[in-house]
Amino acid sequence: MNTLGFTIAAVERDTGLSKDVLRMWERRYGFPVPERDAHGERVYPVAQVERLRVIKRLMDQGYRPGKLIATPVEALSLLAPRRGRLAPEAGNEVDNSGYTELLDLLRQHDANGFVHALQQALARQGLQHFVQDIVAPLTQQVGDAWEDGRLEVFEEHLFTELTKRVLRQAIATLPQGSGSPRVLLTSVPDEQHMLGLLMVEALLALEGAECIPLGTQMPLLEISRAATAHRADIVALSFSVAFPSRQLPKILEQLRRALPTDVELWVGGSGVLRFTPSAGIRCFSTLEQGVEALAAWRSEHAG
Amino acid sequence: MNTLGFTIAAVERDTGLSKDVLRMWERRYGFPVPERDAHGERVYPVAQVERLRVIKRLMDQGYRPGKLIATPVEALSLLAPRRGRLAPEAGNEVDNSGYTELLDLLRQHDANGFVHALQQALARQGLQHFVQDIVAPLTQQVGDAWEDGRLEVFEEHLFTELTKRVLRQAIATLPQGSGSPRVLLTSVPDEQHMLGLLMVEALLALEGAECIPLGTQMPLLEISRAATAHRADIVALSFSVAFPSRQLPKILEQLRRALPTDVELWVGGSGVLRFTPSAGIRCFSTLEQGVEALAAWRSEHAG
DNA sequence: ACGCATTTTTGTCTAGGACAAAAAATCCAG
DNA sequence: CTGGATTTTTTGTCCTAGACAAAAATGCGT
């Protein structure tokens, strides 16, 4: 691994920390302090980049940069997850045995074995339980495992990719929706995680809703146009933990304004746990709430 | 559509133009000139944001910002695609009838009809022809259609999402690879387009290669780790037209250094057409070249 | 018409200052 | 002690404006 160094742009790409933040931290906390090239531009050694990545992930878990940067490198890996997790239901100690087996397959890089195990679980439990009791908690576990170093980033990527495939395949086998309600599924430009969206789609499609999957990263104005064009009843967005919670209220407000008033706006995912919903926005902290809301929508619009 | 205005961050999100560039254009060309809020911060009216999006797309086609900004708004939509397209083979006038039908389905927002038509084409032609003669050119057409306003962004997203599903489904039905070569498929952090990757995967898997799909946006160091962990023979990356060609040489060089020397690095997609490959990097401008390279690899490593 | 050198275009980097919003800490009333 | 309101600290983003290098376009000589 003979890499010479990262430019500030490369570090932004690889860590997700903006150039502004990187320069600010340097000024304020004295870390990271990169070397400089012949033109006085920052060159970050690999070690600093890796430390920044650990710090970024812990920040997504709720830690604050000031503390993390003061903490010595070795101690960082020992920090436990803190908060902002989806559905950590009190007293709901789930049986971990099923997950550890799956996690082990990932750690052995056994893609085929992993897919096979997932498909088996799906066949055994049915789609709804599969999503709620396997995929959702497993996604959680994978996130946790990453942060204490039990899983590499590329193993997490493999997990995501393979799980998406199994979910999509399952969705494809479902009969077509009843045409009502029409739910537009997507995410905003800075949110690239698809898994949450697929889980919701699976559950809603299972209940016979008509899902219109637009993938991730839709510009706000386009979401609005799409809602009109597809005559959507509901726009559903997913936000992951990693989403900058700073921007959330503004974005949702802006979208709510852009959207026709008779279109409902539903949001969910670990990213909205710390968010207090404003008028005209429905906010879900568990998948189950989404399914319930669908039932409620149906009885309201029965006429 | 009652949106008040965009902050500079929102414009960066929605257009893909960096804050630095937005401020520089304002200084240099006198466009865009946003209003200011009470704190002196930029507030971009919707009209300017939309014009910026048109400009950005045309830039991806090879136009230069100086000219585009000088061009009056009405004239922008008339500009034709210029260059940097994948496989526009001279004298190879393809029969467009099949595509226009599919494009019409998209324009009517008929998701089910579109998927059905794709699946029919797949069944009729077989996976290889489907990918090379339907999906690849259709992706092209969709891009073209966007730029002359024949297709909305959300229609393009719907296309992408549905096509991905059909491709993945087709891949899932293939028998498992022969275990050699082992090809790691992914993209670098700023590249989020999956479609090219899936097309390659379909073709390689069809030839019996063992594909390890890691999704998009892998940090460079992680690509290197993944290659080692999966004992990959080849790392294959895809770059779309939208990828900042400025960064391409540096990124590939850096990755090449990080990768074990016995792992081959293959790159392809519309984004690499303007790129002259350096040592240790194989660069493909058509899907077919990839399949040929696979055959060549096999005969080289026959022993 | 083709290859090489020069000029223009364009994006990214740098610096430090200012400020607002979120989180934590403090204080005060019950 | 406990809940809630207020102050303080922390943290990220925005601002201006200058410098420079790499890419693209142009001009020039053969």
Hey, where are the domains in chain B? 8-76, 97-173, 182-300
Sheet holding B182-186, edge to edge: B210-213, B182-186, B234-238, B264-268, B281-284
Residue B90: the pLDDT is 41
Given a contact cutoff of 8 angstroms between Cβ atoms, the answer to whether A3 and B258 are in contact is yes
Q: Do B220 and A50 touch (CB under 8 A)?
A: no
Question: Radius of gyration over alpha carbons of chain B, in Å?
Answer: 21
Residue with tokens 């997990």: A159
Q: B40 forms bridges with which residues in the sheet?
A: none
B 44-73 near A (Cβ less than 8 A): 46, 49-50, 53
Sheet holding A264-268, edge to edge: A210-213, A182-186, A234-238, A264-268, A281-284
Q: Residue A49: CB partners within 8 Å, gap ≥ 6?
A: A6, A11, A14, A15, B221
B 259-278 near A (Cβ less than 8 A): none
Q: Do B219 and A153 touch (CB under 8 A)?
A: yes
State how far the Cα of B121 lies from the Cα of B140, in Å rounded to an integer: 17
Given a contact cutoff of 8 angstroms between Cβ atoms, the answer to whether B166 and B194 are in contact is no
User: CB-based contact (8 Å) between B174 and chain A?
Assistant: no
State both tokens at A214: 């637009």
Residue A95: the pLDDT is 56
A152, A225, A254 member nearest B152 (Cβ): A225
- In the Cβ-directed half-sphere of B237, how many Cα atoms lie within 13 Å? 29
pTM to 2 decimal places: 0.88
* Residue A85: band (very low, low, confident or very high) from pLDDT cuts 50, 70, 90: very low
Q: B183 forms bridges with which residues in the sheet?
A: B211, B234
Per-residue tens of pLDDT for chain B, all 303 residues: 445 789 999 999 889 899 999 999 999 999 999 999 988 999 999 999 989 988 998 888 788 898 899 887 777 666 655 544 444 444 444 556 667 889 999 999 999 999 999 999 999 999 999 999 999 999 988 987 877 778 898 999 999 999 999 999 999 999 887 778 999 999 998 888 999 999 999 999 999 999 999 999 998 889 999 999 999 999 999 998 888 777 888 888 888 888 999 999 999 988 887 777 777 889 888 899 999 999 999 999 876
**In terms of CA atoms, which chain B residue is nearest residue A5?**
B254
Judge whether residue A287 has pLDDT over 90.
yes
Q: Residue B8: CB partners within 8 Å, gap ≥ 6?
A: B19, B22, B23, B34, B41, B42, B44
**Strand C bases within 7 angstroms of protein beta carbons:** 9-24
**If 0-12 CB within 10 Å is exposed, 13-18 middle and 19+ buried, where does residue A186 land?**
buried
State both tokens at B33: 């000139």
**If 0-12 CB within 10 Å is exposed, 13-18 middle and 19+ buried, where does residue B142 land?**
buried
A43 CB closer than 7 A to any strand D atom? no
CA distances from B160 to A279, B47, B164, B185 (A): 33, 27, 6, 18
pLDDT tens string A177-216 = 777 899 999 999 888 899 999 999 999 999 999 999 999 9
State how far the Cα of B44 lies from the Cα of B25, in Å rounded to an integer: 14
Percent of chain A with pLDDT over 70: 91
Judge whether residue A91 has pLDDT over 50.
no
Cα end-to-end span (Å), chain B: 65
B1, B160, B217 member nearest A215 (Cβ): B160
CATH architecture of A182-300: 3-Layer(aba) Sandwich (3.40)
pLDDT tens string A235-277 = 999 998 888 777 888 888 888 888 999 999 999 988 887 777 7
State how far the Cα of A206 lies from the Cα of A71, in Å rounded to an integer: 47
Q: Do B154 and A111 touch (CB under 8 A)?
A: no
Residue with tokens 């077989």: B126
Coil, strand, or helix at residue A234? Answer: strand
Given a contact cutoff of 8 angstroms between Cβ atoms, the answer to whether B154 and A229 are in contact is yes
- Geometric angle at alpha carbon A182, from A181 and A185, rounded to 5°: 125
pLDDT tens string A1-16 = 445 789 999 999 889 8
State how far the Cα of B183 lies from the Cα of B230, in Å rounded to an integer: 9
Residue A57: the pLDDT is 85
Sign of CA dihedral B259, B267, B168, B206: negative
Q: Which pairs count as long-range contacts for A46-54, CB under 8 Å and 24+ apart, including other chains?
A: A46/A1, A46/A3, A46/A5, A46/A6, A46/B221, A49/A6, A49/A11, A49/A14, A49/A15, A49/B221, A50/B221, A51/A76, A52/A11, A52/A15, A52/A17, A52/A22, A53/A14, A53/A15, A53/A153, A53/B219
Q: Do A172 and B165 touch (CB under 8 A)?
A: yes
CB-defined contacts A:B, below 8 A: 148
Query: What is the per-residue burial (b if ≥16 Cβ within 10 Å, else e) of A32-54?
Result: bebeeeeeeebbbbeebbebbbb
Pairing of strands B210-213, B281-284: unpaired
Q: Do B247 and A9 touch (CB under 8 A)?
A: yes
Q: Which residues of A touch B253 (CB under 8 A)?
A: none
Question: Which amino acid is located at A47 in the chain?
Answer: A
A 107-126 near B (Cβ less than 8 A): 109, 111-112
Q: Which CATH number fits domain B97-173: 3.10.50.30, 1.10.1240.10, 3.40.50.10440, 1.10.510.10?
A: 1.10.1240.10
Q: For residue A175, is the peptide bond before it cis, meaning its omega torsion is within 30 degrees of 0?
A: no
Judge whether residue A77 has pLDDT over 70.
no
The phi and psi torsions of A131 (rounded to 5 degrees) equal: -65, -50
A237 DSSP 8-state letter:
E
CA distances from B198 to A164, B102, B136, B175, B284 (A): 13, 20, 11, 16, 15
Given a contact cutoff of 8 angstroms between Cβ atoms, the answer to whether B106 and B151 are in contact is yes
Task: Kindly list the protein residues whose beta carbon lies within 7 Å of any strand C atom.
Answer: A 7-9, 19, 23-24, 27, 40-42, 64, 245-246, 249, 274; B 18, 20-21, 24-25, 28, 39, 59, 64-67, 244, 246
Query: What is the per-residue burial (b if ≥16 Cβ within 10 Å, else e) of A205-217?
Result: bbebbbbbbbbbb
Residue with tokens 């990262």: A6
Q: Do B222 and A154 touch (CB under 8 A)?
A: yes
Interface test with A, best of B3, B37, B157, B240 (most A CBs within 10 A): B157
B112, B158, B221 member nearest A214 (Cβ): B158
State both tokens at B170: 């087709």
Q: B43 forms bridges with which residues in the sheet?
A: B35
Q: Which pairs count as long-range contacts for A22-26, CB under 8 Å and 24+ apart, including other chains?
A: A22/A52, A25/A65, A25/A69
pLDDT tens string A162-171 = 999 999 999 9
Residue with tokens 């893909």: B16
The phi and psi torsions of A63 (rounded to 5 degrees) equal: -70, 160
Q: Which residues of A touch B112 (CB under 8 A)?
A: 176
Distance of CA A270 to the CA centre of its chain: 7
User: CB-based contact (8 Å) between B161 and chain A?
Assistant: yes
Distance of CA A98 to the CA centre of its chain: 22
- In the Cβ-directed half-sphere of B174, how many Cα atoms lie within 13 Å? 23
User: CB-based contact (8 Å) between A286 and chain B?
Assistant: no
Top-level CATH class of B8-76? mainly alpha
Provide the CA A139 to C1' D10 distance, Å, integer. Answer: 31
Number of H-type helices and E-type strands within chain B: 14, 7
State both tokens at B205: 């898997």
Q: B234 forms bridges with which residues in the sheet?
A: B183, B264
